[in-house]
Structure formats: C-alpha cells, structure tokens
Amino acid sequence: MMNRRDVLKIAAAGSAVTALSFPVLAQSSPGVEEVLFDPEIPALGNPGGNVTVAEYFDYQCPFCKRGHEDLMDVVRKDGNVRLVMKDWPIFGGASVHASSLVLASGDSYERALNALMATPGRLGKDEVDATLSKAGLDPSTLLAAFKKDMDRVDAILARNMDQANAFGFGGTPAFIIGTRIYHGAMDRQALLDAIATARAG
C-alpha cells in the first residue's frame, strides 16, 4: 500500500491523456467487485442501478470537467445507473488536496464534487478552497475531517491508482462501464451507447 508521500510523488509526475476509439474487455484482476463496488466510495445516481459507470478522473483534467455535466445528465435521465467517481489525482498536489477534501466531505460529497468539476482550467490549493467555500462548504472543517480520516482516504487513492495502472490507463478520464474499459473522453452519445452495450451484454 502506498503512503501519502508516494501518492504525491507520483501525482506530481503527471500523465498524458490517451483517447482510444474502441473498448477492450476488462482484465480479471483487479476484480469487478473491488473496482465498481468499493464500499468506501459513494455511489451516485441510483445506488441500486443495473449498470455501473466508474470514471477515473482528476479535478484539474479539462476533459473530465468538460464531460462532467453530460455524464451527470445521462445518469440522472437514465435513472438506473450507478455512478462511481474514482479519484485519480495525477496532476499534482492541488489535485490530491481536492480529492482529499471531497472524499472526507461525507453527506456533502456530491455538492463538493460538482462544485470542483464546474471550475475552469488548472487549480491551486487556494482555488480549491475558494470553490468549496462558494459552494457553502468550509475548507477548514473538511481538512479537519480529512486529517481524522486520512488512512481511509489515502487507501482509496492508492487503490484507485493501482487499478488505473493495472488497466493501463494513460491518463484521465478513463471509464469502466459494465465490464468494459473505455480510454479517454466520452461524449453523451458514447456514454449512452456504452450503457446500452453493458445492458445488452
């Protein structure tokens, strides 16, 4: 298990985004349960939905942010999709800071997530805190909650990173929909098609 220093070190290295036009079958390891049903990560949308969408993302990734509104809209309108946001903070310390506060935000998770995903461009720590403040959340309270829950949050980030590396992701975003892996950004139609494929398969 990586410690926080290791996560920060790897995050600082960054990663290039890849965009493949076709899906490949998910590998047998890591398993479906640990990837799609991690009990430590809140399930958005319909927690009992018959298809799970997992997105590996970074709060500073412009492609993740550009597609977030469509993703949330597809999930909301479908009504039978579980959405699991897999924090993979590869763009440095500000990304790790954002992930840490959001994952420690408890019942405010979705509000904190959506607020940061609505920001333009790159973020610094101060911009993360200011964005959360504008959303009605207290960064100091979230930081204190994170410090009390650091082991759990860091374990989530380490698991997500290990999974992303195991799947060969070149960068964010990357998706697992049902049991298929999709590298790169997905527009609304691509999401709809992938969800339909998961249901048919």
The token pair at 7 is: 């996560």
Q: How many residues does the chain have?
A: 201
pLDDT at 197 over 60: yes
The closest of 73, 142, 64, 78 to 106, measured between CA atoms, is: 142
Q: Which of 17-21, 90-94, 184-188 has the lowest mean pLDDT?
A: 17-21
Residue 31: the pLDDT is 86
Report the interhelical angle of 62-78 vs 109-117 (nearest 10°).
Answer: 130
Percent of the chain with pLDDT over 90: 82
Residue 6: the pLDDT is 45
Q: Distance (Å, rounded) from C-alpha 20 to C-alpha 176?
A: 13
pLDDT at 138 over 60: yes
- β-sheet bridge partners, residue 52: 82
Provide DSSP, 10-48.
Answer: HHHH-------SS-EEPPSSS-HHHHH--TTS-EEE-TT
pLDDT at 21 over 80: no
CATH number for position 188: 3.40.30.10
pLDDT at 182 over 90: yes
Residue-range definition of the domain harbouring residue 17: 4-200
The token pair at 195 is: 């969800």
Averaged over 167-187, what is the pLDDT? 95
The closest of 173, 41, 59, 45 to 115, measured between CA atoms, is: 59
Residue 30: the pLDDT is 82
Burial of 11 (0-12, 13-18, 19+ CB in 10 A): buried
Tell me the pLDDT tens digit for each residue of 36-95.
Answer: 999 999 999 999 999 999 999 999 999 999 999 999 999 999 999 999 999 999 999 999
Q: Peptide bond before 39: cis, by omega within 30 degrees of 0?
A: no
Residue 166: the pLDDT is 93
Contact 141, 151 (CB under 8 A): no
| pLDDT band for position 121 (cuts 50, 70, 90) | confident
Q: Distance (Å, rounded) from C-alpha 62 to C-alpha 23?
A: 22
pLDDT at 201 over 90: no
The total of structural domains in the chain comes to: 1
Tell me the pLDDT tens digit for each residue of 6-17.
Answer: 444 434 333 332
